Amino acid sequence: MTEVSKSELAKHLGVSQAMVSKHVKSGILDKCFSPNGKKLILEKAIQAIALSKTKDTNLLVKSTIPREIKNNESLDNEETQDELKKLLEDAQSPSQKVQIIKDFWIGKINRQKFLENEGELITVQGAKVAIDALLSPLNQYMNDQGNHLKNNFPDLPNEVVEWIDAENNRQKEQLRVIKWD
């Protein structure tokens, strides 16, 4: 995180130093100061100012979803966004909104990591490995099915064996078109 002075923040934002001082006096930047209280944390300050200007809670929630959560359907969904919106209703200031959003997403990420560690949640890659382990023997069995039939029933017409092989291949092809993204 980058620490900047009020004047450096003003230059970065392209506003006057008086505007930054106004944000400080109004409390927008209260939670954006470094631990020593002398400088501002650039990323937090930018977010706090953006939040103070955003009246649309839907836009606010969607714009603050962390990169590691986007497209994660178990976390980036309507139910989770509604939960965050409800929490934001009680916020009194933009700095409180920043803290609520930050804590909310950190909590969601930590919960997901906990569930993964407990074995209650697996990654897509883990699911692919498990499915592959289950389907590989089945695939081999289906490949060998026609030969096994012919070996056990030598009088069986070749057309039947070919039909079984074709049908097995058709069923396997249907499994291949499943999208993993």
Provide the residue-wise pLDDT of the chain in tens; the chain has 181 residues.
Answer: 789 999 998 888 788 889 888 888 888 888 889 888 889 988 888 877 777 766 666 666 666 677 777 777 777 788 888 888 888 888 777 667 778 888 888 898 888 888 888 888 777 788 888 888 988 898 899 999 988 999 999 999 999 999 999 999 998 888 777 765 5
Q: What is the pTM of this model?
A: 0.45
- Report which of 9, 69, 68 is spatially closest to residue 33, judged by C-alpha positions: 9
H or E segment and range at residue 3: strand 3-4
Q: Are 43 and 2 in contact (CB under 8 A)?
A: yes
Residues 6+ apart with CB under 8 A from 147: 161
Question: What's the pLDDT at 2?
Answer: 85
Domain ranges for the chain: 1-53, 56-121, 124-176
Helix/strand/coil for 41? strand
Question: What's the pLDDT at 58?
Answer: 65
Question: What's the pLDDT at 164?
Answer: 92
